[in-house]
Protein backbone atom coordinates (compact mmCIF):
# COMPACT_ATOMS: atom_id res chain seq x y z
CA UNK A 1 0.00 0.00 0.00
CA UNK A 2 1.54 3.25 -1.08
CA UNK A 3 0.59 6.50 0.57
CA UNK A 4 -1.78 7.19 -2.33
CA UNK A 5 -3.69 3.90 -2.00
CA UNK A 6 -7.17 3.59 -0.51
CA UNK A 7 -8.89 0.30 0.24
CA UNK A 8 -12.57 -0.48 -0.08
CA UNK A 9 -14.21 -3.02 2.21
CA UNK A 10 -15.26 -6.16 0.42
CA UNK A 11 -18.53 -8.03 0.86
CA UNK A 12 -18.72 -11.77 1.37
CA UNK A 13 -21.53 -14.10 0.36
CA UNK A 14 -21.76 -15.90 3.69
CA UNK A 15 -24.85 -16.77 5.72
CA UNK A 16 -26.48 -19.72 7.44
CA UNK A 17 -23.17 -21.31 8.35
CA UNK A 18 -22.97 -24.39 10.52
CA UNK A 19 -22.62 -23.29 14.15
CA UNK A 20 -21.77 -19.64 13.38
CA UNK A 21 -24.84 -17.42 13.48
CA UNK A 22 -25.80 -14.74 11.01
CA UNK A 23 -25.67 -12.24 13.90
CA UNK A 24 -22.03 -13.17 14.53
CA UNK A 25 -21.26 -12.81 10.84
CA UNK A 26 -22.97 -9.41 10.62
CA UNK A 27 -21.04 -8.12 13.63
CA UNK A 28 -17.83 -9.60 12.25
CA UNK A 29 -18.27 -7.94 8.86
CA UNK A 30 -18.67 -4.61 10.67
CA UNK A 31 -15.47 -5.20 12.60
CA UNK A 32 -13.67 -6.04 9.36
CA UNK A 33 -14.92 -2.81 7.80
CA UNK A 34 -13.41 -1.01 10.78
CA UNK A 35 -10.01 -2.47 9.94
CA UNK A 36 -10.33 -1.24 6.36
CA UNK A 37 -11.34 2.22 7.55
CA UNK A 38 -8.52 2.41 10.07
CA UNK A 39 -5.96 1.20 7.54
CA UNK A 40 -7.00 4.05 5.26
CA UNK A 41 -7.07 6.60 8.09
CA UNK A 42 -3.61 5.64 9.34
CA UNK A 43 -2.24 5.72 5.82
CA UNK A 44 -3.60 9.23 5.33
CA UNK A 45 -2.22 10.43 8.66
CA UNK A 46 1.20 8.99 7.80
CA UNK A 47 1.02 10.72 4.40
CA UNK A 48 0.15 13.99 6.15
CA UNK A 49 3.16 13.68 8.45
CA UNK A 50 5.53 12.87 5.61
CA UNK A 51 4.13 15.81 3.67
CA UNK A 52 6.44 16.71 0.83
CA UNK A 53 9.15 14.31 1.94
CA UNK A 54 10.56 15.69 5.18
CA UNK A 55 9.45 14.37 8.57
CA UNK A 56 9.58 17.06 11.23
CA UNK A 57 11.81 15.57 13.99
CA UNK A 58 9.23 16.58 16.59
CA UNK A 59 6.79 14.24 14.86
CA UNK A 60 8.96 11.12 14.93
CA UNK A 61 7.22 9.62 17.98
CA UNK A 62 3.81 10.20 16.39
CA UNK A 63 5.04 8.69 13.13
CA UNK A 64 6.38 5.59 14.92
CA UNK A 65 3.08 5.01 16.72
CA UNK A 66 1.12 5.38 13.50
CA UNK A 67 3.41 2.88 11.76
CA UNK A 68 2.98 0.37 14.57
CA UNK A 69 -0.78 0.70 14.43
CA UNK A 70 -0.64 0.47 10.66
CA UNK A 71 0.76 -3.08 10.93
CA UNK A 72 -2.04 -4.03 13.32
CA UNK A 73 -4.87 -2.62 11.19
CA UNK A 74 -3.45 -3.68 7.83
CA UNK A 75 -2.93 -7.30 8.91
CA UNK A 76 -6.35 -7.22 10.58
CA UNK A 77 -7.91 -6.23 7.27
CA UNK A 78 -6.05 -8.81 5.18
CA UNK A 79 -6.44 -11.74 7.58
CA UNK A 80 -10.21 -11.18 7.78
CA UNK A 81 -10.43 -11.27 3.99
CA UNK A 82 -8.60 -14.61 3.89
CA UNK A 83 -10.79 -15.90 6.72
CA UNK A 84 -14.13 -14.97 5.13
CA UNK A 85 -12.89 -16.18 1.74
CA UNK A 86 -11.98 -19.61 3.10
CA UNK A 87 -15.49 -20.30 4.40
CA UNK A 88 -18.62 -21.16 2.44
CA UNK A 89 -22.29 -21.90 2.85
CA UNK A 90 -23.09 -25.61 2.99
CA UNK A 91 -19.55 -26.62 3.79
CA UNK A 92 -18.67 -30.28 3.57
CA UNK A 93 -16.26 -30.73 6.46
CA UNK A 94 -12.94 -32.38 5.76
CA UNK A 95 -11.35 -32.11 2.29
CA UNK A 96 -11.63 -34.79 -0.35
CA UNK A 97 -9.01 -37.52 -0.04
CA UNK A 98 -7.25 -36.78 -3.30
CA UNK A 99 -7.21 -33.00 -2.91
CA UNK A 100 -4.15 -30.78 -3.11
CA UNK A 101 -4.48 -29.90 0.56
CA UNK A 102 -4.50 -33.52 1.68
CA UNK A 103 -1.36 -34.06 -0.39
CA UNK A 104 0.35 -31.06 1.20
CA UNK A 105 -0.70 -32.13 4.70
CA UNK A 106 0.60 -35.67 4.15
CA UNK A 107 3.88 -34.43 2.71
CA UNK A 108 4.45 -31.92 5.52
CA UNK A 109 2.91 -33.66 8.54
CA UNK A 110 2.69 -37.36 7.67
CA UNK A 111 -1.09 -37.34 7.56
CA UNK A 112 -4.10 -35.02 7.39
CA UNK A 113 -5.06 -36.09 10.90
CA UNK A 114 -1.70 -35.03 12.36
CA UNK A 115 -1.89 -31.73 10.49
CA UNK A 116 -5.42 -31.19 11.81
CA UNK A 117 -4.43 -31.99 15.40
CA UNK A 118 -1.59 -29.49 15.21
CA UNK A 119 -3.80 -26.82 13.62
CA UNK A 120 -6.71 -27.30 16.03
CA UNK A 121 -4.39 -27.13 19.03
CA UNK A 122 -2.83 -23.98 17.60
CA UNK A 123 -6.33 -22.52 17.44
CA UNK A 124 -6.99 -23.48 21.07
CA UNK A 125 -3.93 -21.62 22.34
CA UNK A 126 -4.64 -19.14 25.09
CA UNK A 127 -4.40 -15.61 23.85
CA UNK A 128 -5.87 -13.31 21.23
CA UNK A 129 -5.12 -14.08 17.62
CA UNK A 130 -5.35 -16.45 14.71
CA UNK A 131 -4.36 -19.93 13.59
CA UNK A 132 -2.85 -19.89 10.13
CA UNK A 133 -1.60 -22.42 7.61
CA UNK A 134 1.21 -20.98 5.55
CA UNK A 135 3.06 -22.44 2.60
CA UNK A 136 6.79 -21.98 2.21
CA UNK A 137 7.22 -20.94 -1.43
CA UNK A 138 10.80 -22.25 -1.46
CA UNK A 139 9.84 -25.91 -0.96
CA UNK A 140 6.02 -26.09 -1.00
CA UNK A 141 5.75 -27.33 2.59
CA UNK A 142 2.90 -26.12 4.79
CA UNK A 143 3.15 -25.18 8.46
CA UNK A 144 0.75 -24.06 11.18
CA UNK A 145 1.32 -20.79 12.99
CA UNK A 146 -0.09 -18.83 15.89
CA UNK A 147 -0.58 -15.17 15.01
CA UNK A 148 -0.68 -12.94 18.06
CA UNK A 149 -3.23 -10.12 17.59
CA UNK A 150 -2.94 -9.66 13.80
CA UNK A 151 0.67 -8.85 13.15
CA UNK A 152 2.99 -11.02 15.22
CA UNK A 153 3.89 -14.45 13.91
CA UNK A 154 3.19 -14.05 10.20
CA UNK A 155 6.17 -15.47 8.31
CA UNK A 156 7.62 -13.07 5.76
CA UNK A 157 7.11 -14.28 2.20
CA UNK A 158 4.99 -17.30 3.19
CA UNK A 159 1.65 -17.75 1.48
CA UNK A 160 -1.60 -17.87 3.50
CA UNK A 161 -3.46 -21.11 2.75
CA UNK A 162 -6.06 -21.44 5.52
CA UNK A 163 -6.82 -18.69 8.05
CA UNK A 164 -8.93 -19.16 11.21
CA UNK A 165 -9.94 -16.24 13.41
CA UNK A 166 -9.95 -17.26 17.08
CA UNK A 167 -10.49 -13.84 18.62
CA UNK A 168 -13.48 -14.15 20.94
CA UNK A 169 -15.52 -11.79 18.75
CA UNK A 170 -15.53 -14.55 16.12
CA UNK A 171 -17.75 -16.75 18.31
CA UNK A 172 -18.77 -15.04 21.57
CA UNK A 173 -22.42 -14.69 20.47
CA UNK A 174 -22.59 -18.42 19.79
CA UNK A 175 -20.24 -20.00 22.34
CA UNK A 176 -18.82 -19.23 25.77
CA UNK A 177 -15.13 -18.29 25.82
CA UNK A 178 -14.24 -21.72 27.25
CA UNK A 179 -16.04 -23.37 24.33
CA UNK A 180 -13.62 -22.14 21.68
CA UNK A 181 -13.07 -25.81 20.64
CA UNK A 182 -16.76 -25.99 19.62
CA UNK A 183 -16.32 -22.90 17.45
CA UNK A 184 -13.23 -24.47 15.87
CA UNK A 185 -15.27 -27.56 15.09
CA UNK A 186 -17.95 -25.37 13.51
CA UNK A 187 -15.33 -23.46 11.53
CA UNK A 188 -14.03 -26.74 10.09
CA UNK A 189 -17.49 -27.69 8.85
CA UNK A 190 -17.65 -24.40 6.93
CA UNK A 191 -14.24 -24.43 5.24
CA UNK A 192 -14.26 -23.80 1.51
CA UNK A 193 -11.71 -26.43 0.49
CA UNK A 194 -11.92 -25.43 -3.17
CA UNK A 195 -10.57 -22.00 -2.21
CA UNK A 196 -7.94 -23.53 0.08
CA UNK A 197 -6.77 -25.95 -2.61
CA UNK A 198 -6.54 -23.13 -5.14
CA UNK A 199 -4.27 -21.14 -2.83
CA UNK A 200 -1.66 -23.88 -2.76
CA UNK A 201 1.16 -23.15 -5.15
Binding site for Fe ion (CB under 5 A): 165, 167
Residue closer to Fe ion, measured from CB, 187 or 193: 187
Q: How far is the CB of 195 from Fe ion (least distance, A)?
A: 18
Q: How far is the CB of 190 from Fe ion (least distance, A)?
A: 15
Residue closer to Fe ion, measured from CB, 77 or 142: 77
d(CA 29, CA 174): 16
Q: How far is the CB of 170 from Fe ion (least distance, A)?
A: 5
Residues forming a β-bridge with 159:
135
Question: Do 15 and 185 contact (CB within 8 A), yes or no?
Answer: no
Question: Do 123 and 146 contact (CB within 8 A), yes or no?
Answer: no
d(CA 77, CA 80): 5
Residue nearest to Fe ion (CB): 165
d(CA 118, CA 135): 15
Residue closer to Fe ion, measured from CB, 21 or 99: 21
Residues forming a β-bridge with 144:
133
Residue closer to Fe ion, measured from CB, 164 or 196: 164
Q: How far is the CB of 80 from Fe ion (least distance, A)?
A: 6
Amino acid sequence: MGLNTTYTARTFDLSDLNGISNETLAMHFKLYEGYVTNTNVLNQRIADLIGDGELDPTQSAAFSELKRRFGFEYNGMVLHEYYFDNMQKQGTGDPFSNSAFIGAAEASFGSYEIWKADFVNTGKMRGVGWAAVYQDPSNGSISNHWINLHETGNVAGFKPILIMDVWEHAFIRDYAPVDRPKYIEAFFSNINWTTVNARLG
